[in-house]
Amino acid sequence: MKSISGIAILGIGSLLVAGICVAAGNGSPAGPPFWAYGVPPGPPPTPAAAAAPDTSVKHLPGNSLEFTRAQISNGFGPADWYPGDHPTMPDVVAHGKMPDVRACSLCHYPNGKGRAENAGVAGLPKDYFIQQLMDFRNGDRKSAEPRKGNTEVMIKIAKGMTPEEMNAAAEYFGAMKWTPWIKVVESKTAPKTRVQNGLFLKLEGEETEPLGQRIIEVPLNAEATEVLRDPHSGFTAYAPVGSLKKGEALAKTKQCAVCHGPDLRGIGPVPGIAGRSPSYLMRQMYDMQQGARKGVWSGLMKPVVANLTEDDLMVLAAYAAAQTP
């Protein structure tokens, strides 16, 4: 009898858990939301047979510089398409340091705009920037999705940096303003996409699919972002209809602006979140909720996100991303 009621209770328990997961995950299996992390469920895809490397010289419209693909994605000195749009890069930003510190400009771009699968780092307060590197280094900032490989790379990078290099990178990126880079559009549908290295890329053609309760953030031009790493070609984020209003109301209740500053543009050492990548913002809130990001300052955010559902976090991410930085 005892064991039977035990089974019955277990049964109800797992039903409840299943119900909660479906509600929170909007039908997706439990776990970090795929749309924000870009790591497909299941085993990693088998890499396609290596094609002959593309050694052709690449150009950007209206730009006289030229680079090959190997130069564009050189981890220790990637292409700098627009040397005039940023101050002189410190060596660690432009070239990194062998073997583990890859050049910041590879992923975050020379102008610090970054991409949906990493982070925008321009305009971050210097103290905050350095604290994040220390948190990565000390094991206090990981991804709630352990298979998100580029966060692991970021951790290795932070571990390999000297205090002088951290300081130089923080000053460099902190000196540039964060300016509009992602356009948030409310929509019932999103373009059909494929995922490559954590980035959602529009398929050829104009096919769309229902958006549901997700944000889908795609480069304006898949080729410009994925192949050419053009730091002037930004992103569009499709967010559910009504999400901005809901996000605005929740941001008021939760008093985000008390810490993140008027219009969420940052204040003192607390970073601005206005106009930043909604996929990135979602990952951070989710990571903090799950305890994967538990840095020295994360305690201030923990109670803010503690009781929010995945939908709540999603509308907050949409709202913050849609604000003018």
Residue with tokens 């305009």: 123
Could you tell me the smallest distance in angstroms from the CB atom of residue 189 to ligand HEC? 26
Q: Which of residues 59-98 bind ligand HEC (CB under 6 A)?
A: 92
Cα–Cα distances (Å) from 111 to 5, 16, 207, 226, 276, in that order, read 62, 48, 32, 17, 14
Alpha-carbon span 14 to 12, nearest angstrom:
6
Name the nearest CA neighbour of 33 among 319, 322, 317: 317
Stretch that binds ligand HEC, among 7-15, 56-64, 210-218, 270-278 (CB under 6 A): 270-278
How many of the other CB atoms lie within 10 Å of CB of 146? 12
- Contact by Cβ (8 Å): 123, 112: yes
182 is a contact residue toward ligand HEC (CB under 6 A): no
Q: Which positions from 136 to 175 touch ligand HEC by CB under 6 A, shown as an x/- string? A: -------x------xx-xx--x---x-------x------
Looking at the Cβ atoms of 77 and 295, the one nearer to ligand HEC is 295
When the beta carbons of 179 and 189 are compared against ligand HEC, the nearer one is 179
Q: How far is the CB of 198 from ligand HEC (least distance, A)?
A: 8
Closest to ligand HEC by CB, 86 or 108: 108
Tell the residue number behind the tokens 């951070």, with chain if given: 284
By beta-carbon proximity to ligand HEC, the closer residue of 202 and 283 is 283
Total binding residues for ligand HEC by CB under 6 A?
47
Asked whether position 215 contacts ligand HEC by CB under 6 A, the answer is no
- Give the dihedral of Cα atoms 108, 291, 298, 196; nearest 10 deg: 10
Using CB under 6 A as the binding rule, the residues of this chain from 248 to 267 that contact ligand HEC are 251, 254-256, 258-260
Tokens 């929170």, located at residue? 24
Structural contact between residues 105 and 113, judged by C-beta atoms closer than 8 angstroms: no
Nearer to ligand HEC, 61 or 99 (CB): 99
| Residue 304 binding ligand HEC, by CB under 6 A | yes
Nearest to 36, CA basis, from 240, 278, 238, 226: 278
Q: Toward ligand HEC, which CB reaches closer, 225 or 284?
A: 284
* Candidate list 94, 228, 237, 270; residue touching ligand HEC; CB under 6 A: 270
Within 107-126, the residues that bind ligand HEC by CB under 6 A are: 107-108, 118-119, 121, 124
Annotate 249-283 with b (16+ C-beta within 10 A) or e (fewer): ebbeebebeebbbeebbbeeebbbbbbbbbbbbbb
Q: Is the CB of residue 283 less than 8 Å from the CB of residue 143?
A: yes
Q: In this structure, which amino acid lies at residue 175?
A: A
Question: Site residues (CB under 6 A) for ligand HEC?
Answer: 92, 101-102, 104, 106-108, 118-119, 121, 124, 129, 131-133, 143, 150-151, 153-154, 157, 161, 169, 251, 254-256, 258-260, 270-271, 273, 280-281, 283-285, 293, 295, 297-298, 300-301, 304, 316, 320
